[in-house]
Chain A
């Protein structure tokens, strides 16, 4: 490092290198931000614009002839509503069970009196580093009768080693006096867990809840691999099908709508593009909705994870 006098250093605030760098960084990061935001914006404005123009690629930056018929059309597709229900159910049930299991196991694994505690803990944590592979998993699920069952979405993710490690780390930081006092008052293991531990570790539980909710909502591979019953298809899987076969869907939507709307202008009639884009917005919307809340928690989560390695 150069050893120049202090006086000069103070003047260096306007170093030309610094100025050029500032300008370049602002431009580059604006580009990155644009690349990340614009696709969502583009798809959204297309869903509310004139469908005919949209299908011909004429809507790029400003919506034209705003209308909301596409959202009404999409809500009239029965299979999509079923998929929505399945996705919401798996997200709610899966998240509740995963959060409970992570908190409970995180707490129980701090109990040194437990019979062979270390063995069970290692047995759980080891699963972070290996898996049998999708084909043996597929065959096994078939053999135990979970193929085409709703529970195949839930049960495999209930015990998640990473979340357990997160919770355990947090529980260990809870002062022992707190739990000891509860025990002295005659509270058993379960009572201590619900009355003392859960309230204290709430912040980490929020992190776990949000991570597992997003994972459940986004999950696609389990449907692809283990479900062929259309009644159990998730929103993600249905969207995947729609991308590849939106034209047959267009016929479905347009035939199911009443004669009155059939007479409606080309601007509102469903097109392959309009359906594809509208469903995309429907699937991405819940993520956008929870994202701001979410943001507060995930940095915390990733940091604790990083410390633990």
Chain B
């Protein structure tokens, strides 16, 4: 018996270095939340800074400019997340109709090519956007040659349709990849079901509507719930690389705002406070959605 216990300790010692890494890089930063309760000004150490209690949490609501800024930031976050939610059926339909292509090499080609953008970084996406859409880029050249415009259009340096453009880039990058999950689900559909429908005289459209889509709907809902849980977390990379003085008002989502606030204007404490609120709301959202999922579909997603 003692030998077994000894073995248990030894096995623990093997994983201990990794546990320490997790503690340092995932748990210890949580202790950094205390910066939200101080007036932290970087060259100073925290002990030299004044303890301010909940000042920053009040400040973001009481201060007029901050409240307006935060409201716009929330609007952007909801707008961009809402757009992806609204079009969340797109990867599913992309997979459904891709599956209808009977020429397999072509199908494979489309799948390969549309998945590729998922594996390049946002910096590269921005670089590509810049090359294609700047004033001497191919889009402006072709539009001018066709006589549709006289002067180059500033696609990237503009404050118009920012949410929609961000959604387009996100879709360009992710749709092919997101479709893979559905393609796998479609492959899993029982062939007999489809054959039976054909015998019953269903055309392709009817087979899609009555068999393919209902079969992959559970996958859709799992992904929809996951997306909903990430509603507040758009990430900052995409918006950071695309931001400029023209679109700044409409592109700042929560994650980017927190970054800009701290790194741009030194508001570390306020940024941390906003970050905390975001984290707490996200965790609550995740738990609630998991409960809802359990209640409606009989299983959670975490």
Contact = CB atoms under 8 A, between A and B. Distances in A.
Determine the main DSSP class of B at the interface with A. Answer: helix
A174 interface: no
19 contacts: A3-B200, A9-B200, A22-B100, A25-B101, A57-B138, A60-B141, A114-B11, A132-B275, A137-B29, A137-B32, A155-B25, A156-B25, A159-B22, A189-B10, A225-B259, A239-B127, A243-B127, A273-B136, A303-B184
A134 B254 CA distance: 12
Contact of A221 (B126, B172, B236): B236
B112 A1 contact: no
B201 A9 contact: yes
Contact of B113 (A5, A37, A116): A37
A302 B180 contact: yes
Cβ-closest 5 pairs across A and B: A136-B32, A133-B275, A57-B136, A132-B29, A218-B121
B120 A287 contact: yes
A309 B301 contact: yes
Contact of B286 (A2, A57, A129, A135): A129
Contacts of B241: 220, 240
A266 to B, nearest CB: 15
A21 interface: yes
A68 interface: no
A309 B110 CA distance: 27
B32 A134 contact: no
Interface stretch (B58-66, B68-76, B203-211): B203-211
Interface stretch (B12-20, B78-86, B157-165, B245-253): B12-20
A127 B30 CA distance: 11
Contacts of A287: 119-120
B278 interface: yes
A74 interface: no
Interface in A17-57: 17-18, 21-22, 25-26, 28-29, 32-33, 35-37, 39-40, 42-43, 46, 55-57
Interface residues of B, number: 98
A110 B55 CA distance: 47
Interface string A106-127: 0011010111110010011001
B54 interface: no
Contact of A295 (B112, B205, B240): B112
Given A33-B110, A129-B302, A284-B120, A135 B35 contact: yes
Contacts of B199: 6, 9
A58 interface: yes
B12 A17 contact: no
Contacts of A291: 116, 119
B21 A155 contact: yes
Interface of A: 1-6, 8-9, 12, 15, 17-18, 21-22, 25-26, 28-29, 32-33, 35-37, 39-40, 42-43, 46, 55-58, 60, 101, 104-105, 108-109, 111, 113-117, 120, 123-124, 127, 129-140, 144, 155-156, 158-159, 189-190, 214, 217-221, 224-225, 236-237, 239-240, 243, 273, 276-277, 279-280, 283-284, 287-288, 291, 294-295, 298-299, 302-303, 306, 309
A131 B97 contact: no
A235 to B, nearest CB: 9
Contacts of B124: 218, 236, 239, 280, 283-284
B122 A276 contact: no
Contacts of A273: 131, 136
Interface in B1-48: 4-5, 7-12, 14-15, 18-19, 21-22, 24-33, 35
A263 B79 CA distance: 53
Given A56-B136, A134-B258, A239-B123, A18 B29 contact: no
Given A8-B201, A280-B127, 10 more contacts: A3-B201, A21-B205, A29-B97, A113-B4, A115-B11, A131-B26, A140-B32, A214-B119, A220-B122, A302-B184
Contact of A46 (B131, B172, B255): B131
